[in-house]
Structure 1
């Protein structure tokens, strides 16, 4: 089992930016010696300008842990509660309506986001083999339905002002970035086309999608960050990850598929040294570090 900490989004409330974070509260009854009371997460709302926190949700009871979704108004809208003793988990609205329930002894259940229209909840379950399945259930109740079934998703894009899902990026051989809003999808299609031949990743965006932050890499590009003005169709580089590596020093990059000695199919990325014939070269092998979140 794991206590849930981390970041729960940013919201604009009465013109002020508020960040929501999970943290461990200390027992301050003795002001001279605050002490650890328990490891269960408290949800805090932090006024970013003043750095003043307030409690947005109390910690779970003993032998439980919780996860939350914050709506556009800054209120806790949905709570996931997991019992550490038997793995029973429930997802409920703030009004007490139970949306989903199950048993997972390892506690690998978490809330992801609100659905595209903000009228549903998306949650994730990971099995013992590490396979993740996502489900969507209406906020008004109903039968959960599997979400993005058979789509290998690398990242979800969530609107930080509402907590609603707005798109995703796939883990296919040629990754796709899929946005729910047709205007956003059209803008990204044009932008990505302008960087043809390079891998382009959407990193962040301003409200209304007026500007987007991208990272590019690939042949002749060791890692560059751009701010794109969508309306003006202008891309300005803002940072180079490796400024001392010139484009002509970046070797050709390609994907390779091969069969291991035990017959397992493996894919990898091959980078060839510039200015050398691709024959009889020494090999530097960098093993993959494994999936991480």
Structure 2
């Protein structure tokens, strides 16, 4: 799972804040692991993991989501089952506490794949999902980031803004005991984004994709480029038609295909054989994984931390 490649410089947070962010990554891993340990589905596992990150103020999704140019939260999310390619998504939602739960409800309802704006909020209400006022999603960090991006825009220095000032996303991928794959992604988009802008996270094949027998992908980065490259599906296609493994295909799109665009990008991926890949081209990426021996690992920058799930 990932908490976005829009990670801050290590000096930007106190050691205690970094520790809390790592703990929340671990809690998200634990939520997904508990589902899988009880023979639950990969689909349920990725939803459970993403909900934890949406509830944490440390990530750009749900509580702590980015603010658009009008200081409004508009949130996107999607979820996909590799077993049957079923998918659900919401975009530009303004009141859904956990957008990934709404995306799952769209998947389960089956009439549509993507619902937008007020219709997404209304759908969530009919399904009994929790709704919140805008103030719930706002944190001081996101207000600071919005102000910083507006200042960059006024000064003509947007290109030099840090990744943490620009964007962030959360996502998870999983392989269950039945061999099924799933992926889920959720985001507030990038700070100071245009009103109504929709990125790659709710677009199946761009920011999220899963297909049994191949892989599951969740991306983070400049969504417009992910959409144009159909990034998540591109990785699956390289594996399916070129015979590349998960690490090779993932690295190709992040470090080669996107290189000419000079954007921050990263992703997490799991193959049908259980192998994982987590390439990124920024100074860090919030990320976590469970090794084959059951150990929990999380990282924000280069250093990898092993966590004890008993104390999460």
- Tell me the TM-score range normalised by the shorter chain: under 0.3
Q: Which has more strand, going by share of residues?
A: 1
TM-score with structure 2 setting the length: 0.25
More contact order relative to length (CA 8 Å, sep ≥ 6) = 2
Q: Which has more helix, going by share of residues?
A: 2
